[in-house]
Chains A and B, each alone.
Chain A
Amino acid sequence: MRKGHRVTDFDPGRRRLLGHLGLAGLGVLGAGPLLTACASSASGPASGGGGSKAVTLQSNLSSPQAKTAIEKLIDSFNKQGKGTASVNTIASETFRTQLPTYLTSANPPDLYTWYAGSVANDYASKGLLLDVSDVWQGLGEYPQSLRTLSTDASGKQVFVPMTNYWWGFFYRKSNFAKWGVQEPKTWAEFLSVCQTIQSKGVPPIGIGLGDTPWVASAWFDYLNIRINGAQFHRELLAGKQRFDDPKVKAVFLRWREALPYFDPKGKAYPFQEATTALLAGKTGMFLIGTFFADAAPKDALGDLDFFRFPIIDPAVPVAEEAPTDGFFASAKTGNATGTKALLSYLASVEAQEEYVRSSSGIVLPAHPKAKAADSPLVSKGKAMLESAAELTQFFNRDSSDALQPTADTALTKFIDKPDQIDAILREWQAGAEKVFKG
């Protein structure tokens, strides 16, 4: 009920905002529907409720727990009587290719699960996303970093975060104990751990590039933010730096030192199989995001731990990959009020806690006051992100889905043919230029 009050309290603010929005929206493609939506919200409190059509949430959360979790959330929202909503779950691969189509269709779904950062900004710059700045009026408790992440180039908020997760080197505690190795802190320690594991006859570093070549981008991202820093990394991904820059080459030279320790079979199977291999003790450790746990038997999770990507240059501020998942809405939604009410709910402590409870658990709620799952692994992940000087999202999220294939090509080729670095980087730059050019 507390929530309900907040939305009502919120209404005058929204009306005041109308003027600002109208001004800010001038010349922006989304301004038309936006204005009408705001006008209808100003017409009376009733319009926020069941009077308008149900909000459709197009969701790519198709794993069983996440799907149930999001459905539960929508049920709770519907019970509150501030509007009606329905979920539409689409296989994530289908969702990814169809998202531009959904957004550009004449009568699009209202709300979408997707990623924060440059990816959302990209759609916003084309006028496809609903301005949700007034939802953010009620999100004062959120840290500035998340607000910035959810803000597009023109300064309005277009995204509402729900959860984030982290990447790290995951390993089995029992295996590390058996091999007599400890979590490495620096690159040199890391390489020596690799050496020890290899001497036990186990490929030290697992990877899964067959069908999921994007997993290799985590290596590139991390090496780049450890060597050149997050700032350079973002500029590179935004097309303001070049992939054939010597600084980028330095990343690959460093990577090459670790290549002999990669599991040669990793090229052929997807990350799910790589997860199985890690759990079965067929590889030593695996740089992966926490989503891998979806593909792991639950009893194995207790034995899992992780360490942060080793420090290479202590002078570079420590950044971590912490992809933020959440929602954005279509600029063409027929029910902006309802959509925003739902977004406000999804951003609330209770909704996020409920989501974390009913989903697989290794995610962190975006709301700073919402409690994460109570496990040592989650606390450690949370602490790591909190101690980081900067957060990055992931290769595609910091650039665009369109740039990802160029990285996949370059990185898999590098892992196969590390002595062709220069040619690979030249090709990468050429491929990236095509993407930036459009």
Chain B
Amino acid sequence: MTDVSTKADTPRTTASDVAGTPRRRRRSARLSPLLAAFVLVPFAVESIWVFWPALQGFWFSLTRWDGQTPPQFIGVDNYVELVGDATFRGALINTVIWLVLFGGLSVVGGFGMALLLQRDRRGVGFYRAALFTPVVFSLVVTALVWRVFYQPDGVADSILRAIGLEHLIRPWLADPETALYAVILPALWRQIGYVMVLFLAGLKAIDPALHEAARMDGANAWQRLWHVTVPQLKGVNAVVLSVIVIDSLRSFDIVWSLTRGGPYHSSELLSTYMYSAAFQSLRLGYASAIAVVIFVLALAVILGYLVRAFREEA
């Protein structure tokens, strides 16, 4: 395939290239100060505003701290407490549900929409814009819209009544059975358009000749989707996966503004629990420990994928 040969020529290298061709070795030997600056400046900026604060955060997770008096070192007590904390366990389970439902559905929905809308034809621009519009709204807007949608005698109830399903009516956001799912819906509303745009960008980058070739070989639409499109999207997949995992684990604003993790922790995610531990209970040490757990989870999922992706390339 054309793609394979292109890739082999690019300087994007893998472990096996260390003893590569002379040409490659020459280039690495000539690493200019400019290139070093290209890497170091962004890295330094991120170090100052992210890594250093994060290290402090890790340190705080080993302390008891109210944010006002100096932190007190208590070792791993916070983590021990996490293990026995029922609210934390609930939040962890909810986060996994969230990751699967929100993450899964937004990938499926976003990819489906991207496939439908990838060809430029009349009206497509409008449809794309329509699906993407929720992405540009801030949480205040989204919360406002959906709160009214779910409120007693609000839009959701009116719709159910109109189609004769009034027995299903319940206080959607205040019922512990439905609160989590009622919050996933607006989150999806915002996310699908976003994922769609990422996939659209990826689909655009696929050489149409590949599809043409596959069509010549008699592959049907499904086979082309599965054997041509999906493998070609590897780069985008990594981005989408990162985005989904980051957004799932950090999903905070929409939950916070609609339910604050309630009623009684039934829609609590790790991110909301962390925020309330930090800024409501003023237990910053404990909150930092939750943040570390979120970070480790995200890292595990994404690095797991990336390491596999890198290995496949090698």
Task: Write the residues of chain A forming the contact surface with B, with a CB cutoff of 8 angstroms.
Answer: 97, 100-101, 103-104, 123, 126, 128, 209-211, 213, 264-265, 267-269, 273, 400-402, 404-405, 408-410, 412-413, 416, 427, 434-435, 438
Contacts and interface: CB of A to CB of B under 8 A. Distances in A.
B264 A126 contact: no
A273 B151 contact: yes
B109 interface: no
Interface string B122-156: 00000000000000000000000001001111000
Given A104-B67, A126-B68, A264-B171, A402 B280 contact: yes
A100 B151 contact: no
A123 to B, nearest CB: 7
B264 A401 contact: no
Contacts of B265: 409
6 contacts: A103-B68, A265-B153, A265-B171, A412-B262, A412-B264, A434-B281
Given A103-B68, A209-B263, A438-B282, 16 more contacts: A97-B280, A100-B66, A126-B66, A126-B69, A209-B174, A210-B171, A211-B260, A213-B262, A268-B150, A400-B282, A402-B283, A404-B280, A405-B281, A408-B262, A412-B264, A435-B283
A267 B153 CA distance: 13
Contacts of B173: 210, 268
Interface string B163-188: 00000000111111000000000000
Contact of A267 (B64, B174, B260, B279): B174
Contacts of A265: 152-153, 171
Interface string B245-277: 000000000000000101111000000000010
B152 to A, nearest CB: 4
B283 A100 contact: no
B271 to A, nearest CB: 15
A220 to B, nearest CB: 15
Contacts of B260: 211, 213
A269 B152 CA distance: 7
Nearest to A101: B67
Contact of B176 (A126, A210, A416, A438): A416
Given A269-B152, A402-B280, A123 B68 contact: yes
Q: What 3 A-B pairs have minimum CB-CB distances, sorted nearest first?
A: A268-B171, A265-B152, A267-B174
B174 A268 contact: yes
A265 B170 CA distance: 9
A402 B281 contact: yes
A2 to B, nearest CB: 39
A268 B68 contact: no
Q: Which of A101, A126, A402 has the most chain B CB within a 10 Å cutoff?
A: A402
Given A101-B67, A210-B174, A413-B264, A401 B282 contact: yes
B262 A128 contact: no
A128 B67 CA distance: 12
Contacts of B283: 402, 434-435, 438
Nearest to B268: A409
A100 B264 contact: no
Contacts of B66: 100, 126, 438
A213 B264 CA distance: 10
A405 B81 CA distance: 19
Contacts of A410: 264
Contact of B68 (A100, A264, A408): A100
A413 B174 CA distance: 10
A401 B280 contact: yes
A111 B165 CA distance: 55
Interface centre among B67, B151, B174, B282 (most CB of A within 10 A): B174
Given A268-B152, A268-B174, A416 B264 contact: yes
A409 B69 CA distance: 27
B147 to A, nearest CB: 8
A409 B261 CA distance: 10
Contacts of A104: 67-68
Contacts of A409: 262, 264-265
A281 to B, nearest CB: 15
Which of A213, A404, A409 counts the most B-chain CB atoms under 10 A from its CB?
A409
Nearest to B67: A100
A402 B284 CA distance: 12
Contact of B263 (A126, A128, A412): A412
Contacts of A402: 280-283
Contacts of B176: 416
A435 B176 CA distance: 24
A410 B69 CA distance: 29
Interface in B219-268: 260, 262-265
A101 B282 CA distance: 11
Contacts of A405: 276, 280-281
Nearest to B85: A434
A267 B178 CA distance: 13
A48 B148 CA distance: 52
A384 B64 CA distance: 43
Interface string B49-89: 00000000000000010111100000000000100001000
Nearest to A414: B264
Nearest to B69: A126
B282 A100 contact: yes
B263 A413 contact: yes
A259 B262 CA distance: 20
A269 B151 contact: yes
B243 to A, nearest CB: 27
Contacts of B262: 213, 408-409, 412
A435 B281 contact: yes
A126 to B, nearest CB: 5
Contacts of A97: 279-280
A318 B265 CA distance: 35
Contacts of A100: 66-68, 282
A412 B262 CA distance: 9
Nearest to A273: B151
A401 B260 CA distance: 15
Nearest to B176: A416
A174 B215 CA distance: 78
